[in-house]
């Protein structure tokens, strides 16, 4: 062991020999110091992650996840909207005793569904 040289053992073909670079810190050269090795590995991982995120299959999968969550959010909001329209029907038609005057054949609204649908249109849906 040459104590002026890096203590890392490196492969040369089938044999290992001491690294020939001069010592830098803690007995290692700049390239073989554990801190340098860890830093290089971290940068490699970062580059790999970056490339993975840019890959079409990865972005496609992200878009599918987003699509699924938007679909379920949409379903949830549609249900809430229908519930609100039903409530509006109770408040504006049933509770005001307008049902017999405005709902029915030949009247302003054919049936409850017709009223609810026009309410949804009023709200912009
Ligand atoms: Zn070295």
Q: Each residue of 73-119: pLDDT tens digit? A: 999 999 999 999 999 999 999 999 999 999 999 999 999 999 999 99
Distance of alpha carbon 125 from alpha carbon 120, whole angstroms: 5
| Dist. CA 8 → ligand 1 center (Å) | 5
| Dist. CA 27 → ligand 1 center (Å) | 9
- Split at pLDDT 50, 70, 90, the class of 125 is confident
Distance of alpha carbon 74 from alpha carbon 121, whole angstroms: 17
Distance of alpha carbon 68 from alpha carbon 25, whole angstroms: 53
Q: Please determine, for residue 43, whether its predicted confidence score (pLDDT) is greater than 90.
A: yes
The stretch 29-52 carries a mean pLDDT of: 97
- The Cα-based distances of 5 to 11, 13, 18, 45 in angstroms read 16, 20, 8, 30
Strands of the chain (E only): list them: 9-12, 15-18
By the CB criterion, residues less than 5 angstroms from ion ligand 1 are 6, 8, 19, 21, 29, 32
| Dist. CA 60 → ligand 1 center (Å) | 43
| Dist. CA 41 → ligand 1 center (Å) | 16
Mean pLDDT value across the chain = 96
């Amino acid at each position: 062991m040459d104590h002026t040289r890096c203590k890392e053992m490196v492969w040369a073909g089938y044999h290992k020999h001491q690294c020939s670079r001069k010592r830098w810190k803690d007995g290692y050269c700049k390239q073989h110091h554990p801190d340098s090795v860890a830093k290089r590995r971290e940068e490699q991982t970062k580059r790999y992650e970056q490339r993975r995120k840019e890959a079409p299959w990865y972005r496609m999968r992200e878009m599918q996840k987003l699509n699924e969550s938007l679909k379920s959010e949409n379903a949830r909001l549609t249900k809430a909207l229908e519930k609100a329209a039903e409530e509006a029907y109770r408040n504006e038609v049933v509770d005001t005793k307008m049902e017999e005057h405005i709902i029915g054949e030949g009247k302003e609204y054919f049936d409850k569904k017709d009223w609810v649908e026009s309410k949804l249109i009023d709200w912009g849906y």
